[in-house]
A and B are shown apart, each in its own frame.
Chain A
Amino acid sequence: MRNESLELLRGTLDLLILRALKVETTHGYGVLRWIERATGDELRIEEGSLYPALYRLEKRGWITSEWGLSENNRRARFYQLTRKGRAQLETEVDEFVRFALAVFRALDVTPTPA
């Protein structure tokens, strides 16, 4: 049960990371803050799991990283969406929407904007 939700969460997490980086090039904490803000703090992400996810995405070539200076002049690692990542984001959004609509149909509910 818990395993399944983790799996689901992980896929979703990747999607949200890509979406966050589409907005701006930022460090891990910036990504997290964007997700928190964008979801109205609804999704509670285990912060630790964010970083392995970032590394994984980088390995797949969807994002790249580079050390730089943060807003408050600290050395931080900045992540940037690659062209491949941008394409991946589009596909994943499409798939997620199809998935979500299918689940809604099964549950016989109509999605309403939050």
Chain B
Amino acid sequence: MQQDRSRRYLQFFGPRPDADVEDEIAFHLEARAQELAARGLPLAEAREEARRRFGDRTRVEAEMRRMEREKSRRAARLEMWRDWGSDLTFVRRSLMRQPLFTIAAVLTLGLSIGVNTAIFSAVNAFLLKPLPVRDADRQMVVATMFKKDGITGSVSYPLYREVKALPVFEDAVSWLGWEVALRRDGNTQKGFVLAGSGNYLTALGVQVARGRGFTEADAATRAPVVVITDSYWAREFGRAPAAVGATLYLNDVPFTVIGVLPAAFTGTQPLIVPQLMMPVESMASFYPAIAANMDDMSWGSFRILARTKAGVTPAQLEAAMGQYTADLEQRYPREMLDSKVVAAPETRARPDLSVSRIVPWIAAVFFGMVGLAVLVACANVTNLLLARAAARRSEIAVRAALGAARGRVIRLLLTESVVIGILSLGVAYLLARFSIQWFNNLDLAIDVPISFGLEMDWRVFGYAAAISLAAGVIAGLAPAVMGSRAPVSEVLRESGRSGAGSKGRARFRNGLVIAQVAVSFVLLVSGGLFMRSARGAANLDIGFRRERLLVSQMDLSLHRLDSVQTRRTQDQLLERLAALPNVEAVGLGSHIPLGGNNYGRNLYLDTRPTAAPQGMFQTFYATVSPGYIPALGLRLREGRDLLPTDDDAAPRVAVVNRALAEALWPGEGALGKRFRLDEQGPEVEVVGLIENAQYLLLGEAPRPFAYFPIRQSYRQQTFIFVRTRPDDPLAAVPDLRRVVTEINPSILLSGTRSMATHLDHGIALFFVNMGATLATAIGLLGLLQTVVGLYGVLSYTVAQRAREFGIRQALGASAGSIVGQVLRQGSVLCGTGIAAGLAIAIVLTRSMSSLLYGVSPLDALAFGGALLIVGVVAFASSYLPARRASRVAPATAIRAE
């Protein structure tokens, strides 16, 4: 009681600590003086005596002021918390009183924020999260790039040494990924090794978690040592400390584990998590040619990460690369044909410089979509809150009448929507966690150990939290401001009547619904376009046939077969597989289309065509066996396929594609034309011409490509292509395994899958399919929200106009006419929204065209589908409120008056 009174007292006058202190001292002095005066001292003297007895007033007063100010600050803080506390209690009660509203609002926000967060976690992993290495912001990917199409390539080791010495760089590391047969305790599996320069771990500042890392000294002695990654340590050794010192066999050569890498560091190869890392020099113990390759300017298998000196600007870096390119063109005209050296920040070069240019686009499109979804969700919650605010006007008016300041009411209402935002963060968090897990567990039909590395780190959580709070504020702002503006007189005038509310507010709500419909329409169109694009991509003419085709891989270099054994194994395999009754065709090839790995080389021409004025021409190529072309279903246009007789003893031959023929010999016909593979080498005759196919990227422009017989160029790593007679190519897997085991039981087959799987779940279509899934999910989310929004607004209008509808019916209006009236209102809102959405979509989808395959950004089906869906949904969500309107009993409505 007393506490309360004192609080009100304080509040009334506001805190004024200085004046209080002065008053208190003045009171004391006066009281003392009065007493002394009463004892007979003259008043002036009494006052003098009182002051003397009090002592050093200035000092005491200063001390008191300090303490008093502190006290009033404490009181203010306490007051604030108490207010928050009472606000929260109020909010909790009001949210619990209407659980349906609360659940709808929280789910609406939570779902869209969750999707948004999941997308952000991908963006975070792909674009934002720096590598866990020293000076990550100064690490540059250095690569060669074709001037023509921006496709980037790996570099040679000599080039790495030169890059490392360039004055713009402080240090650089280089590495290559290499597949090995990894044996431990008699169990062999395919492994992926990251073989780095001797300084790889030290220059990147990687501290091993256990044991030691490899160094330049290990590289110099070609020590057979490896460090293992955390995931391999966990999987193979169960995190046992004894792993350090253990022996692993790489292609049958013993290597000693000297250390375990920290969990955070999985190497510098984007997306790939190798099992092992070692100095590249140490590969010599199972791959003797590596030493020679490391001095070969044309052996481009390495990647580079170079650390710029502090203060080097992007412009300086670019200039340095331009200068270096010019220098290389002088010294290595062949190796550098049509190429340049480029450098880009590591985060801008994921997963590859040539693709990284469209990655931000993809991110932007999806961010735009999910951003819109969140805004739609906010609009929904705004609408729900507005409806409630209107219902609570009398309560707010009473508060205002009791003296609550407007700011205070706004704060109270905002607290409510912020609480909704915070609750939705919980939903969003769970959804994002779930999505991230799902995404990380996706099984990809790719040959290397891949990890997307998505995780809920502080960045992602912070993002979700910020979006949730912002959504809470955005959704609640308009209702709070409007709700707090409730003049007592107006409310009292309205009391007991279900008035239609102010026109402005109705217009605002209608505007929101129109915007929602528009946005959902845009989202659905984008979703439809992506879905159509996925279909389109699957049906693109890829130049070969994807059905009834089995793919597998074998690497005879893992089994240390010499060239004679290799040839014999390959021959036997082709022969025995071809003899199987359910096999239509079989072939070996160095290259699987749309598999990510590609090889390029120069052709040398004696008669220089305009396309190759220097007599050199860059082409992609594959080394293939007879049967490869029919097995893949490539279309032979002229000439012949490669034959078993095209071997070392026979004249050199090649089959080329139309793009190559048209570039080099336009209008002449390619058959019988000749070129060389080495400047001084033997002539190669073109014996066949095939139709262009897709090799690197889906939807790419025709690209020159040549096929050389495997018997004229030795190759141990090959893909096996089996075209089966049965519809399901996987039915031939047991046969394939049996045949391989019969020939050589130690041969490891890997990556056995159907071509359809390779395309759909491999890198070719993965992102397209992913995009379609995501876009559809976002579109449906938007649709769901449109339903909530439209239904909410119409229900609210119907409730407000119940009396009017009742009277109309009493006056003889038919139920049908009332249903029609509400439906009309719904369709006006919807129609306006769709019209706006149509305009927006036409403008926006054009920017998506670079991400679409085989479908126009104005695809009639996507637009028509969206139109139909939004129309049906709008009708459905208007119909229920309309029916309710037609059932208002006239008597009830009028009695409510």
Q: Contact at A55–B67, with CB atoms within 8 Å?
A: yes
A9 to B304, CA, bound (A): 78
Q: Contact at B67–A59, with CB atoms within 8 Å?
A: yes
B54 to chain A, nearest CB (A): 5
Answer yes or no: A75 CB below 8 A from chain B CBs: yes
Q: Contact at B27–A70, with CB atoms within 8 Å?
A: yes
The interface size bin for chain B is: 20 to 34
Among A13-21, A43-51, A91-99, A101-109, the stretch in contact with B:
A43-51
Interface residues in A20-36 by Cβ distance below 8 A to B read 27-29, 32-33
Contacts A33-B35, A66-B6 supplied; 19 other A-B pairs, CB < 8 Å: A27-B31, A29-B31, A29-B32, A32-B28, A47-B28, A48-B59, A49-B55, A51-B64, A52-B67, A55-B64, A58-B71, A66-B5, A66-B9, A67-B20, A74-B27, A74-B30, A77-B20, A77-B23, A77-B24
Q: Contact at A51–B55, with CB atoms within 8 Å?
A: no
In the bound complex, residues from chain B placing their C-beta under 8 Å from that of A66 are 2, 5-6, 9
Question: Can you list, as one digit per residue, whether each of B15-56 has a CB less than 8 Å from chain A (1) or not (0)?
Answer: 000001001110110111011000000000000000001111
Interface size on A, residues (CB 8 A): 23
Residue on A nearest B24 in the bound complex, by CB? A77
Answer yes or no: A56 CB below 8 A from chain B CBs: yes
Interface residues of B (CB under 8 A from A): 2, 5-6, 9, 20, 23-25, 27-28, 30-32, 34-35, 53-57, 59-60, 63-64, 67-68, 70-71
Residue on A nearest B58 in the bound complex, by CB? A48
B888 to chain A, nearest CB (A): 58
A75 to B24, CA, bound (A): 8
- Interface centre among A27, A32, A47, A67, by most B CB within 10 Å? A47
13 contacts between A and B (CB under 8 A): A27-B27, A27-B31, A29-B31, A46-B55, A51-B25, A55-B68, A66-B5, A67-B20, A72-B34, A74-B30, A75-B23, A76-B27, A77-B20
Q: Contact at A47–B24, with CB atoms within 8 Å?
A: no
A66 to B53, CA, bound (A): 25
Residue on A nearest B5 in the bound complex, by CB? A66
B60 to chain A, nearest CB (A): 4
Residues of A contacting B: mostly? helix
Q: Contact at B24–A52, with CB atoms within 8 Å?
A: no
In the bound complex, residues from chain A placing their C-beta under 8 Å from that of B20 are 67, 77
Interface residues in A36-83 by Cβ distance below 8 A to B read 46-49, 51-52, 55-56, 58-59, 66-67, 70, 72, 74-77
A32 to B53, CA, bound (A): 12
In the bound complex, residues from chain B placing their C-beta under 8 Å from that of A32 are 28
A36 to B55, CA, bound (A): 17
A46 to chain B, nearest CB (A): 5
A23 to B68, CA, bound (A): 25
A46 to B57, CA, bound (A): 11
A27 to B64, CA, bound (A): 15
A28 to chain B, nearest CB (A): 6
Q: Contact at B24–A48, with CB atoms within 8 Å?
A: no
A52 to B23, CA, bound (A): 15
Given A27-B27, A48-B54, A70-B27: A55 and B60 interface contact (C-beta under 8 Å): no
Residue on B nearest A74 in the bound complex, by CB? B27
A49 to B54, CA, bound (A): 8
Residue on B nearest A28 in the bound complex, by CB? B28
In the bound complex, residues from chain A placing their C-beta under 8 Å from that of B55 are 46-49
B295 to chain A, nearest CB (A): 80
Which of A56, A58, A76 contacts B24, CB < 8 Å?
A76
Residue on B nearest A46 in the bound complex, by CB? B55
B1 to chain A, nearest CB (A): 12
B76 to chain A, nearest CB (A): 15
Q: Contact at A48–B56, with CB atoms within 8 Å?
A: yes
Q: Contact at A51–B6, with CB atoms within 8 Å?
A: no
B10 to chain A, nearest CB (A): 9
A46 to B35, CA, bound (A): 17
B826 to chain A, nearest CB (A): 62
B235 to chain A, nearest CB (A): 60
Q: Contact at A47–B64, with CB atoms within 8 Å?
A: no
Given A27-B27, A75-B27: A51 and B60 interface contact (C-beta under 8 Å): yes
A43 to B143, CA, bound (A): 91
Q: Contact at A52–B64, with CB atoms within 8 Å?
A: yes
Q: Contact at A48–B57, with CB atoms within 8 Å?
A: yes
Residue on B nearest A66 in the bound complex, by CB? B6
Q: Contact at A48–B60, with CB atoms within 8 Å?
A: yes
Residue on A nearest B71 in the bound complex, by CB? A59
B218 to chain A, nearest CB (A): 67
Residue on A nearest B32 in the bound complex, by CB? A29
In the bound complex, residues from chain A placing their C-beta under 8 Å from that of B25 are 51
A69 to chain B, nearest CB (A): 11
In the bound complex, residues from chain A placing their C-beta under 8 Å from that of B6 are 66-67
A70 to B71, CA, bound (A): 23
3 nearest A-B residue pairs (beta carbon): A48-B55, A48-B60, A29-B31
Residue on A nearest B3 in the bound complex, by CB? A64
B309 to chain A, nearest CB (A): 58
In the bound complex, residues from chain A placing their C-beta under 8 Å from that of B64 are 51-52, 55
Q: Contact at A52–B60, with CB atoms within 8 Å?
A: yes
A77 to B9, CA, bound (A): 13
Q: Contact at A47–B53, with CB atoms within 8 Å?
A: yes
Q: Contact at A29–B67, with CB atoms within 8 Å?
A: no
A76 to chain B, nearest CB (A): 5
Q: Contact at B9–A67, with CB atoms within 8 Å?
A: yes
Q: Contact at A28–B67, with CB atoms within 8 Å?
A: no
Residue on A nearest B21 in the bound complex, by CB? A51
